[in-house]
Amino acid sequence: MTRVRVAVVGAGFAGVAMARRLAAAGESFVVLERRPGIGGTWHDNRYPGVACDVPAHLYGYSDIAHPGFSRVFAPGAEIREYLEEAAAPVADHIMLSTRLESAAWDGRGWRLTTSRGPVEAEVLVMAAGRLTEPRLPEVPGRFDGPIVHTARWDDDLDLEGQRIAVVGTGASGIQVVPELARRAESVVVLQRSAPYILPKGDRAYADAEIALFEQQPERLADLRGNLMRETEEVFDQRAGDGRAQARARALDHLAGQVPDPVLREALTPDHEFGCKRVLFSDDYFTTLRLPHVKLVPGALTGYEPGAVVAADGSRHEVDVVVAATGFHSTRQPYAELVTGRDGISLDQYWAQGMRAYASTVVHGFPNLFVLDGPNATLPHNSAVLMIEAQADYAASALPWTSHGPLEVSVDAEQDYIDELQERSGVWTSGCSNWYVDERSGRQVLLWPGKAQEFRDRFGWFDPAPFGLAHQEPSESAGA
């Protein structure tokens, strides 16, 4: 039996951020990670071309700079290495290859069953992320070759000279297609809907730049500050008044890279700018112009031995299928494992869509903090900015548990959900996207504002929504 003050589930950006704060506060804690390594989504996603679409020096912890990033937009392997280094001081608290099997509130704390035995904790922090369970195409027929999802990449898969079908043109699709085209005999890309794509402007950092970042940390701090300001301005281009100009820029990028009017028409989005995730690439469009690469403007509708069938009825003989088809984003698998105060699972409570006050705490689930979950990511900026604020919120709440279990009021939670829905505008405008829960029509993944607003409002614990406004916190049990 492991007994700790705090149990954290997940060792990606959110779990490591929480662990570092718990260690600084002198708390007893354990981090449970089902994977054999640290990194979360950056441990899972190892497909060719995987990279972040947020500038590298903004996509990291505010107190851990990394001058050695090789590119403006860091490759996935470098982000994973960064996280491993950030986690090194708390590595003794991390239990790898340990799967959470259940977590139940018993009136005083949380009782966890795991693949390595029971754990008891006063506080539970779910830092399991939202992009963990791949969504594979559910179509009739049988394909007799390899089918690999981008988040479950097989490093032993031989792609040289192969005929490859890529299903999906979201963020991972537009990254993997150019890399596969360099190796394959042919690539056919099955596009269900055309995304808006802006130029990425990626480049390698020169050795002299990296050396300057190492020698003068203030320059790196200034760069991060500038990136933060510039990226916050992008919010208005995705969800505010600047959408028309941003849409025109995306269409200009398309026109400049795709002179063929037929191909350009197939690549022109038919939805409102910002309703779906806006993507970034410098080489996706030019790759589609290569003679051995073919765009099929239709979804995958079936498999045959040695072939894929598209919505237009076309049949394409291929050796390998790469599914860049995203994740089960609005229904989190971990929710079935967590049972709250009334014997109701988090999945049951979220039957009409995920919900949490301050995107972090859930009525009916005392002493539970959910990081990087409901309405806790951004369409325009680094998700790490949100994660840090949530970790600060949870850490500053811990001393208040001396009064008894913390549970947010249902009214505070509902008022917050109503605010989010009212502000969700473009994302609920009618196009199909992975932000909206299909059961309720609510937008359940994005914070509908700028990162700094969230950090200012929810980067610290406010006891009022918990009925504790007239009490004072006590010293943390682990301090």
* CATH code of residue 39: 3.50.50.60
Please indicate, yes or no, if residue 204 is contained in any of the structural domains: no
**Domain limit, last residue, from 304, 323, 342:** 323
DSSP secondary structure letter of residue 306: T
Statement to judge: residues 309 and 439 lie in one domain: no
Vertex 198, ends 323 and 443: CA angle to 5°? 65
Which string of DSSP letters, residue by residue, matches 392-413? Answer: HHHHHHGGGGGGS-----HHHH
Spell out the long-range contacts of 343-351 with Cβ–Cβ below 8 A and sequence spacing 24 or more.
350/374, 351/439
Indicate if 278 and 332 belong to the same structural domain.
no
162 and 280 housed in the same domain: yes
pLDDT at 131: 76
Whether residue 295 is found in the same domain as residue 335: no
User: How many domains, in total, are found in the chain?
Assistant: 2
Residue-level pLDDT at 478: 43
H helix or E strand, kind and range, residue 208? helix 207-215
Structure tokens at 228: 């933060």
| Inside any domain, residue 244 | no
Q: Which residues touch 404 (CB under 8 Å, ≥6 apart)?
A: none
Below-70 pLDDT ranges, the chain:
237-241, 469-471, 474-479
Say yes or no: 157 and 302 in one domain.
yes
Residues 304, 161 share a domain = yes
Residues 425 and 384 in one domain: yes
Tell whether 29 and 175 lie within a shared domain. Answer: no
Return the pLDDT at 240: 61
Angle, helices 13-24/383-397, rounded to nearest 10 degrees: 40
Question: For residue 376, is it within any domain?
Answer: yes
Which of 288, 303, 323 terminates a domain? The answer is 323
Residue 217 within a domain:
no
Would residue 100 count as lying in a domain? yes
Strand stretches in 244-332, DSSP E = 279-280, 293-296, 300-304, 307-310, 315-317, 320-323
* Domain assignment present for 232: no
Whole-number percent of the chain with pLDDT over 90: 84
Residue 138 within a domain: no
Compute the distance between CA of residue 312 and CA of residue 298 in angstroms, rounded to an integer.
6
For residue range 288-316, list pLDDT tens digits in order.
Answer: 999 999 999 999 999 999 999 999 999 99
pLDDT score recorded for residue 471: 66
361 & 421 share domain: yes
189 and 71 belong to one structural domain: no
- Please indicate, yes or no, if residue 239 is contained in any of the structural domains: no
Element (H, E) at 137: none
Q: What is the span of the domain harbouring residue 458? A: 2-133+328-466
CA distances from 414 to 219, 342, 356, 423, 477 (A): 44, 19, 9, 14, 31
**CA 120, CA 118: separation in Å to the nearest integer?**
7
**Same-domain check for residues 357 and 419:** yes
Pair 168, 275 in one domain: yes
Of the residues 300, 323, 346, which one is the last residue of a structural domain? Answer: 323
